Chain A
Amino acid sequence: MTETEAKLVCRNVWKVFGARAADTFASLGQDPSPDRLLAAGLVPAVRAVDLAVRDGEIFVIMGLSGSGKSTLVRCLSRLVEPTAGEILFNGRNLLAASEAEMIDIRRHKMGMVFQHFALLPHLTVLENVAFPLDVQSIPRARREARAREMIALVGLAGRENSYPRQLSGGQQQRVGIARSLAVEPELWFLDEPFSALDPLIRRELQDEFIRLQSALRKTIVFITHDFDEAIRLADRIAIMKDGVIEQIGTPEELVLHPATDYVREFTRAVPKSKAVRVASLMVADPPPPDAPAVPDRATVAEAGRAFLAGAEVLAVTDRQGRRIGSLRREDVIRLVLGGAG
C-alpha cells in the first residue's frame, strides 16, 4: 500500500509522560529502550508507532488496558500532544498545524465517540447532537435540521427533547454516535464505544454500526479491548501491547500467521472459523454444478451453515458471482477442530 491512498498515516509516533518530557526525550536519541526512558524519569505510553489507515476502512486498534491504545487515538487528533513523530492527515502533518488550524480540522473533519458517552447533562438529545454545529455558530434552524436527521439515522426519532439521564446506556451511545456524525466527519474515531454496555446491547449496537458504515463509508479508527468485537468489525486490526504495535493485519492474517507470541496467545482462544475467510480455505477445483454458493469474503463460520443442509462441497463465488473454487466439508471440519491453519 502506498501512503498516497492512506487517509491517516503515523510515522514513528511517540508519547512519553514525565517532567520536561519533550527535551528529555530528545536527549535520549533515536528509539530509546523502555528501561532508558524509565531511568530518565519518563513513562512511555506510545512507542514508535507506524500505521496507515486507508480511505473508507475500519481500522481497529486492539489492546488490553494500559496498552496505550487510548493515548494513541488521542494523539491522532492531537487531544494528546505526541512527544515525537509525524501524523499525516490527507498528506498534511497535523503536528505542524497551529491550534487554530487544529480547531478548524476538528470542527469539520473529525468526529469522536467516547466510552462513557460524554453527553452534556444540561442539554437535550437534540441540543447535544447539534452542539458541534452550535460551537461553529451555525444558525439554529440549520443545525437543528441536521441534528434531527442524525437522530433519525441512529433510530432515536421522537426522543429529541429528552435529557441524557432519561435514556438507557445504549440509547445514550446512539446519541453520542449521532453527535459525532453531525459534522459529516471524514475521519471517525470511536474510543471503546460499546465497552460500557451490557453484552446484548453491545451486539445490537455493533450491528447498527455495521449498518451505518455500509451506508456512510467513513474512514474509521475504532478502539477496543475485545478481540471478538475487533474481528467482527475490522477490515484491519493493530494489536498493541505496552505502547508498541505488535502486528497489523486483517483478522485472518492475525489468526493464521501471528507475528509474535503475544498475538498468538491472544488469537488462540478465538474460533478460527470466525476469522478465516472462505477465500483462504477453498481449493481451486471446480465445484459440482449443484453445490450451493457462498461468497469468498464470508467467514468460514458464516459459510459453514450451508453444510447443515447436507452438501459435501460448496461453490465459492467472487464479487461478480463467478464460481472460482470449492470449499470442502473436511477442510472446514479440520479448521474448526484445530488441525489446519
Chain B
Amino acid sequence: MTAIPTTPGSRGLLAPRLVWGLALSLAAALWLWGQTLAPFAFDYPKAWQIPAARWIGGFITWLVKEAAIGPLAFSDVTRFLAWLIDLPYRAVLSLLATGMLSGEGSSAVQLWPPLPWLAVIGLFALIGLFAGGLPLALTVSACMGFVAVFGQWQSAMVTLASIIVAVPIGVLGGLLLGILAWRVPLVDRLLKPLLDLMQTMPVFAYLVPILILFGFGPTAAIVATLIYAMPPMTRITTLALQRVPSEIHDLGRMVGCTPRQMTWRVLVPAAREPLMVGVNQVIMLSLNMVIIASMIGAGGLGFDVLNALRRLDFGAGIEAGFAIVALAIALDRLSQALARRARGALPQGGALQRHPYLAAALALVAVTWVLGLILPAIQTYPEAARLSTSPFWAAAVEWINLTFFDTLEAIKNAILIGILVPVKRFMLSLPWVAVVALLGLAGWRLGGWRLAALTAALSFLIAATGQWEKAMITVYLCGVSTLIAMAIGLPIGIAVANRDRAWTITRLVIDTLQTLPSFVYLMPVVMLFRVGDFTAMIAVVAYAVVAAIRYTALGLQGVDPRLIEAGRAMGCTDWQILTRIRLRLALPEILLGLNQTIMFALSMLVITALVGTRDLGQDVYIALTKANPGNGLVAGLAIACIAIIADRLIHAAAETQRARLGLSGHAP
C-alpha cells in the first residue's frame, strides 16, 4: 500500500514499508532477546492486574442482594420480569406440550390435553399455504412430520414454546428501541456500542449473570434469548427507518400526520420489507439461542442434544440434531415467505370469506381436538409408528470409527503436530507489549489515531485483566480456523460466482447451513474426532466457511462487467482476468467476508468450549458451570474485545481499499 488518501499529515513522509519493517524488527528483537531483559513484557505482572472479575462478581452479588430503589429491591424487579415472561410461557407450553395441568410435579393431573400433533402440523401447513402456496405448505408439513415420526415431538414443542414467547417480545422490543434510537440521536449514539458489545459477546458470558438473576429454568433461557436476538432487530429498525425515502416523510407531514401517526401509519409500514427481514433474524437467532440456553434450563431439543453429548450417545444426539434442523428450516422458510408475501386484491364478503385461513385454522383445531379425545393417535403421535434411527446412527459412527480409525487419527495428528501446536506455541511466546504495539500501529495505518487508540486500549485491557494467555489461544484457534475456512471458501466462491446453476445450488446449501443452530455442528465432529483443539477447529471451519463462500461470490459478481470485457479485449487470459481484475476489484467485499468469517469463528469457538478447548471460551463455560459471573463476564468481554479489534481493523482496511478503487459510492 503506497498511498492512503484519507489519512492526514506527516505519514506521507514515512515510507510505510520502512515503518512496518522497523516495527516488526523491534518486535522480533524483543521476542528473541527480551525474555531476560524485560520479563514483564511477556507475562503481565500480577501486581498490576485489574481485578475486573472480582469487581463484576461483587457488583452482581450487590445487585442481587442489596440493590434497591427505595423499597423496591432489584431482585423484586427481576422476579416481576420473570413472572411476566413466565405467564405467557406457561400458557403456550400447556397449549403445545403439556396440556392444562392441575397440581405440581409428577403428581400433576392433566385436565385438558395439549394441541394434537395433527393440529400443529395442520397449522404450520395453513400458514405455509397462506404465505407461500402449496409447495411451502408441503415443505413445512414434511419438516414437522419428520419431527413427529422420529419421536422428537414433545421436545420440539417445548423449544417451539420458548420461541413463540421470545419472538414477539424480541420483535416489539427491538422495534421500539430502534424507533427511539432513530428519533433521538443521543440514544442512537449510546446504544450503538452497547449493541456492538451484545452482538460480539459470547452467549455463555451472559448466561451466568442471567442464571443468578433469574434462576435456572425456561424464563432465564428466554431472557438470554431476548438479549441475543434483540440487537439485530434494533439495528435493522433504525436502518430501515433511515432509509425510508424523504418523499414519504414529506408526504406524512404534508397530509398533517401527528408524530404518532407519522411513526405507525407512515414510516413503519413503509419500512415493512426490511423490518420483516429483521423478524426472520429474530426467529432464527431465538432458535439458535433457545438451543444453547438449554444449559440454563430451556429444556427441549437443545437439552436432548446436550444430554446426548454428555453421555456420548451419538444416535440420540443426531436424532435431536435433525429435529432442530427440521424445525429451523420450517421456521425460516415460513418467516421468509411471510416477509416476501405480496398482498393480492382484497377478498370481499362476510367474516368467513374475508378470513378463510383463520376460519380453517379454528375449524382444524376444534375438529382435531374433539377427535383427539376419542382417538389417541390423533392426539399424540402413536408410539408404535415412531421410527428411531438412533441405533443406525450409533452403528454408523461406530463403523466409521472402527474402519477409519487409523486414517482419521493420522489426519488429526498430522494437523495437530504440523500446524496447530507450532502456531499455538508461537502465539503463546509473543510478548504482549509487542502485540499491543503492533495492533496500535495497524490501527493507526488503517484508520488514524482513534482506531489506534481503540485497538491498543482493548488489547491492553485483555492483558491487564490477566487473560493474555487464554486470549492468545483463542486468537490462535480462531486464526487458524479462519485461514482454513478462507482457503476452502475462496476457491469455492470463485468457482461458483459466475456459474448460475452452481451458484443457485451453492446458495441454497449455504443458506440452509446458516439457519442451523451452531450447536448442531458439534455433533458429527465430536463423534469422529472426540474432544480437543482439532475437533473445535473442524467445527469452527465448518460453521465459518459459509461466510467466506458467500462474500467471495457476491464480491466477484459485483465486479463491473465492462471492466472484464475491457480486460478480454486487451487479450487477458482467464487467469489474468481473475487475478488482475476480478479479485482486485472484489477485494473490499472479500475483506468483509473475512470479517464475517472471523465473527462466525469466534461465536462458534465459544460453543466448542463444550468439547474441551483451553481458551477463553472454556473460561466462560467453566464460569457457567460454577455460576461465577465475574470470571465469565470478564472472559466474555475479552472475546468481545478480540472481535471488535478484528472487526474495526478489517472494516478500515476494506474502506481504504474501496476508496482507492473509487468504489466508496456503494458502501453496504
Among A106, A116, A165, A183, the residue within 8 A (CB) of B247 is A116
B253 to chain A: closest residue by CB: A79
Sample (23) of A-B pairs whose CB atoms are under 8 Å apart:
A74-B250, A79-B253, A104-B256, A106-B255, A106-B256, A107-B255, A112-B250, A112-B254, A114-B250, A116-B245, A118-B247, A118-B250, A120-B248, A122-B270, A123-B269, A124-B346, A135-B255, A135-B256, A135-B265, A136-B256, A161-B346, A162-B345, A189-B254
Residues on A with C-beta less than 8 A from B258 are 103, 135
Least CB distance from B133 to A in Å reads 18
A121 to chain B: closest residue by CB: B270
Which residues of B line the A interface, CB within 8 A?
245, 247-248, 250-251, 253-258, 261, 265-266, 269-270, 272, 342-343, 345-346
Least CB distance from A165 to B in Å reads 8
B272 to chain A: closest residue by CB: A122
Given A135-B261, A161-B346, also A79-B272 (CB < 8 A): no
Least CB distance from B434 to A in Å reads 43
Residues B269 and A106 in contact, CB atoms below 8 Å apart: no
**A324: CB under 8 A from chain B?**
no
Among A116, A132, A162, A189, the residue within 8 A (CB) of B255 is A132
Among A103, A120, A162, A163, the residue within 8 A (CB) of B256 is A103
**A110: CB under 8 A from chain B?**
yes
**A89: CB under 8 A from chain B?**
no
Residues B251 and A114 in contact, CB atoms below 8 Å apart: yes
Least CB distance from A5 to B in Å reads 26
Number of A-B contacts (CB under 8 A): 67
Residues B254 and A111 in contact, CB atoms below 8 Å apart: yes
**A77: CB under 8 A from chain B?**
yes
Residues on B with C-beta less than 8 A from A74 are 250
A111 to chain B: closest residue by CB: B254
**A195: CB under 8 A from chain B?**
no
Which interface class (under 10, 10 to 19, 20 to 34, 35 or more) fits A?
20 to 34
Residues on A with C-beta less than 8 A from B245 are 116, 118
**A250: CB under 8 A from chain B?**
no
Residues on B with C-beta less than 8 A from A122 are 269-270, 272, 343
Q: How far is the CA of A183 from the CA of B255 in the complex (A)?
A: 9
Q: How far is the CA of A135 from the CA of B264 in the complex (A)?
A: 11
Least CB distance from A272 to B in Å reads 36
Given A106-B256, A114-B251, also A161-B269 (CB < 8 A): no
Q: How far is the CA of A134 from the CA of B250 in the complex (A)?
A: 17
Residues B250 and A120 in contact, CB atoms below 8 Å apart: no
Q: How far is the CA of A251 from the CA of B396 in the complex (A)?
A: 87
Residues on B with C-beta less than 8 A from A120 are 248, 251, 266, 269-270
Q: How far is the CA of A115 from the CA of B251 in the complex (A)?
A: 11
**A14: CB under 8 A from chain B?**
no
Given A112-B250, A116-B247, A135-B265, also A121-B272 (CB < 8 A): yes
Q: A104-B256, A116-B245, A118-B248 are in contact. List 14 more A-B contacts (CB 8 A).
A: A74-B250, A103-B257, A114-B251, A115-B247, A118-B245, A118-B250, A118-B251, A120-B269, A120-B270, A121-B269, A121-B272, A135-B257, A161-B346, A163-B343
Q: How far is the CA of A116 from the CA of B247 in the complex (A)?
A: 7
Q: How far is the CA of A112 from the CA of B250 in the complex (A)?
A: 9
* Majority-rule SS of B interface residues: helix
Least CB distance from B250 to A in Å reads 5
**A222: CB under 8 A from chain B?**
no
B248 to chain A: closest residue by CB: A118
Among B251, B269, B270, the residue within 8 A (CB) of A112 is B251
A161 to chain B: closest residue by CB: B345
Q: How far is the CA of A124 from the CA of B346 in the complex (A)?
A: 9
The 8 closest A-B pairs by CB, nearest first: A107-B256, A132-B255, A118-B247, A118-B251, A106-B256, A122-B269, A112-B254, A103-B256
A162 to chain B: closest residue by CB: B345
A127 to chain B: closest residue by CB: B346
Least CB distance from B277 to A in Å reads 15
For A125-150 the 0/1 string (1 means CB < 8 A from B) is: 00000011011100000000000000
Q: How far is the CA of A110 from the CA of B346 in the complex (A)?
A: 31
Least CB distance from B252 to A in Å reads 8
Q: How far is the CA of A114 from the CA of B248 in the complex (A)?
A: 9
A108 to chain B: closest residue by CB: B256
Report which residue of B250, B251, B261, B346 has the largest number of chain A beta carbons within 10 angstroms of its beta carbon: B251
Residues on A with C-beta less than 8 A from B269 are 120-123
A103 to chain B: closest residue by CB: B256
B266 to chain A: closest residue by CB: A120
A residues 82-116 in Cβ contact with B at 8 Å:
103-104, 106-108, 110-112, 114-116
Residues on B with C-beta less than 8 A from A114 are 247, 250-251
Q: How far is the CA of A39 from the CA of B227 in the complex (A)?
A: 48
Q: How far is the CA of A173 from the CA of B342 in the complex (A)?
A: 21
For A167-211 the 0/1 string (1 means CB < 8 A from B) is: 000000000000000010000010000000000000000000000
Residues B257 and A79 in contact, CB atoms below 8 Å apart: no
Q: How far is the CA of A131 from the CA of B261 in the complex (A)?
A: 11
Least CB distance from B258 to A in Å reads 7
Least CB distance from B343 to A in Å reads 6
Least CB distance from B62 to A in Å reads 43
Q: How far is the CA of A60 from the CA of B248 in the complex (A)?
A: 23
Residues on B with C-beta less than 8 A from A111 are 254
Q: How far is the CA of A103 from the CA of B256 in the complex (A)?
A: 5
Residues on A with C-beta less than 8 A from B247 are 114-118
Residues on B with C-beta less than 8 A from A163 are 342-343
Residues B270 and A79 in contact, CB atoms below 8 Å apart: no
Residues on B with C-beta less than 8 A from A108 are 256
Residues on B with C-beta less than 8 A from A131 are 255, 265
Residues on B with C-beta less than 8 A from A79 are 250, 253-254
A185 to chain B: closest residue by CB: B254
Report which residue of B254, B265, B342 has the largest number of chain A beta carbons within 10 angstroms of its beta carbon: B254
Residues on A with C-beta less than 8 A from B346 are 124, 161
Q: How far is the CA of A176 from the CA of B257 in the complex (A)?
A: 17
A126 to chain B: closest residue by CB: B346
Q: How far is the CA of A103 from the CA of B250 in the complex (A)?
A: 12
A77 to chain B: closest residue by CB: B254
Q: How far is the CA of A21 from the CA of B414 in the complex (A)?
A: 68
Residues on B with C-beta less than 8 A from A165 are 342
Report which residue of B256, B266, B343 has the largest number of chain A beta carbons within 10 angstroms of its beta carbon: B256
Q: How far is the CA of A118 from the CA of B269 in the complex (A)?
A: 13
Residues A132 and B272 in contact, CB atoms below 8 Å apart: no
Q: How far is the CA of A45 from the CA of B503 in the complex (A)?
A: 48
Residues on B with C-beta less than 8 A from A106 are 253-256
Residues on B with C-beta less than 8 A from A115 are 247
Q: How far is the CA of A108 from the CA of B245 in the complex (A)?
A: 24
Least CB distance from A93 to B in Å reads 19
Q: How far is the CA of A124 from the CA of B250 in the complex (A)?
A: 20
B273 to chain A: closest residue by CB: A121
Least CB distance from B604 to A in Å reads 38
A residues 275-290 in Cβ contact with B at 8 Å:
none
Residues on B with C-beta less than 8 A from A135 are 255-258, 261, 265
A115 to chain B: closest residue by CB: B247
Least CB distance from B369 to A in Å reads 35
A73 to chain B: closest residue by CB: B250
A133 to chain B: closest residue by CB: B255
A128 to chain B: closest residue by CB: B251
Report which residue of A74, A120, A132 has the largest number of chain B beta carbons within 10 angstroms of its beta carbon: A120
Least CB distance from A267 to B in Å reads 30
Least CB distance from B270 to A in Å reads 6
Residues on B with C-beta less than 8 A from A112 are 250-251, 254
Least CB distance from A68 to B in Å reads 16
B257 to chain A: closest residue by CB: A135
A residues 38-71 in Cβ contact with B at 8 Å:
none
Residues on B with C-beta less than 8 A from A103 are 256-258
Q: How far is the CA of A314 from the CA of B272 in the complex (A)?
A: 62
A189 to chain B: closest residue by CB: B254
A74 to chain B: closest residue by CB: B250
Least CB distance from B175 to A in Å reads 16
Residues on B with C-beta less than 8 A from A123 are 269
